[in-house]
Amino acid sequence: MGSVTVKKHPQGLEYVEVDTDLCQARIFMQGAQIDRFQPKGQAPLLWVSSADDYQPGSGIRGGIPVCWPWFGMHENPQWPQHGFARTRLWNLDSVQMQDQVVELKFSLTVSDEDKQYWAHPSRVELIFTLSDSLSVSLVNTNLGNAPFNLTQALHTYFPIEDIHQLKASGFSGARYIEFGEGPFEQEGDEVHFDRETDRVYTQLGDCQLLHTPQGIIEVRRENSRSAVLWNPWIEKSKRLSRFNDQDYLTMVCLEAANVLEDRVELAPGESHTLSTHIRWQPQG
């Protein structure tokens, strides 16, 4: 029998622990951030830095932080990078389990304090579907009388064992901006890593593969024509908070996103769902 239980981390953060015949997972109420997902009999599909100390008020360096309602730096440099959703407490609205498949639905209430950043009447929800694969859906609904737009990302950290052996594929035909320059045309289908990589892709197909020594991670997106591919490499690793100097060797971020010309524009009453679907590809 599967179980879904609410527990408390030694640092005080509450989380939901999932243990079924298909997977084990952990999702924190803060940020509705999943930091563990492991299909039974397979390797983990998410990476977290051992330097993170799970302090309340700080996003976890790993798993899937939610960037909302903007990605990256806001035009107001005093506002939080990647929005405020990843450090706020979300509500666990529902838990369903059928045939060992678990669905968890979280929602975020925009506080009076956060209305300085986001004054648009809206509803934002995060839905996790946990089986032998992981699906995460970020649902935005415009509850107001005026249109608005936003950018967002599901900032997924993947365990890749050795960055020098990693090959990422599925990028043919896309364009990208890197370090504020571009857009550049993607050359070929594959990306290899020998330096800091921080690419914001647009016009991107809906499936990419991470070829790692442990196997191939399949990453699919829905309602997203943009994605972010990131590895901080050597020098930036030394400057990042809650990140070991050598962590760049064992992780990469490939983020389902709606950024740049792919931003979300919502008319009154309209909804939009950004989804990412992650699994180990079957071998053989």
Give 62's DSSP letter. B
pLDDT in tens, 48-76: 999 999 999 998 999 999 999 999 889 88
**Which of 155, 161, 181, 192 is labelled catalytic?**
155
**Which of 82, 125, 255, 277 is labelled catalytic?**
255
The span from the CA of 160 to the CA of 215, in Å, is 9
Residue whose C-alpha is closest to residue 229's, from 219, 239, 216: 219
The span from the CA of 241 to the CA of 163, in Å, is 20
List, in order of start, the domains of the chain with CATH numbers: 3-52+59-280 (2.70.98.10)
In terms of C-beta density within 10 A (0-12 exposed, 13-18 middle, 19 or more buried), how is residue 236 classed?
A: middle
Give 48's DSSP letter. B
SS3 category, 3:
strand
Give the model's confidence band at 221: pLDDT under 50 very low, under 70 low, under 90 confident, else very high. Answer: very high
**Is 81 labelled a binding residue?**
yes
Q: CB-based contacts of 173: which residues, under 8 Å, 6+ apart? A: 186, 203, 205
**Is 279 labelled a binding residue?**
no
Task: Please state the pTM of the whole predicted model.
Answer: 0.97
- Say what percent of the chain tops pLDDT 70: 100
**Is 225 labelled a binding residue?**
no
pLDDT for res 281: 96
Q: Is 190 a catalytic residue?
A: no
Q: Is 155 a catalytic residue?
A: yes
pLDDT in tens, 12-49: 999 999 999 999 999 999 999 999 999 999 999 999 99
Dihedral sign for Cα 186, 188, 191, 195, please.
negative
